[in-house]
């Protein structure tokens, strides 16, 4: 019996280069894992997230947070990148 690393799969989480540049999303949607994680970081609980995204079911959130747990650096980098203002935009207070 081998004790080597086992490849994990994440049901309901998918990546497709044609959807949000390959960012991990809930399968069959364009809802990124990073958006769900950020909503939770901002204080929304699972029920509130499900209310905001009525097409999701609890299993989707569990899959998203399992993915986040195993890919924290990747998702945190996406969240940080998404918080940057677009190039050439003016941020209030920076004038």
Q: What's the whole-model pTM score?
A: 0.82
The answer to whether residue 88 is domain-embedded is no
- CA terminus-to-terminus distance, the chain: 64
Average pLDDT, the chain: 89
Tens-digit pLDDT profile for residues 10-44:
889 999 999 999 999 999 999 999 999 999 999 99
Where b means 16+ CB within 10 Å and e means fewer, 43-67 reads: eeeeeebbeebeebeeebbebbbbb
Domain CATH for 65: 1.10.10.10
Looking at residue 32, the DSSP 8-state letter turns out to be B
The answer to whether residue 91 is domain-embedded is no
Domain, as residue range, for 53: 13-82
Residue with tokens 């747990």: 69
Looking at residue 54, the DSSP 8-state letter turns out to be T
Residue with tokens 């999701």: 56
């Amino acid at each position: 019996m081998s004790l080597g690393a086992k490849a994990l799969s994440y049901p309901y989480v998918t990546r497709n280069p044609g959807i949000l540049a390959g960012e991990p999303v809930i399968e069959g949607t364009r809802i990124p894992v990073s958006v769900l994680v950020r909503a939770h970081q901002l204080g929304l609980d699972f029920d509130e997230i499900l209310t905001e995204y009525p097409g999701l079911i609890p299993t989707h959130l569990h899959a998203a947070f399992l993915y986040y747990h195993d890919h924290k650096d990747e998702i945190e980098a996406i969240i940080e990148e998404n918080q940057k203002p677009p190039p050439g935009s003016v941020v209030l207070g920076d004038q």
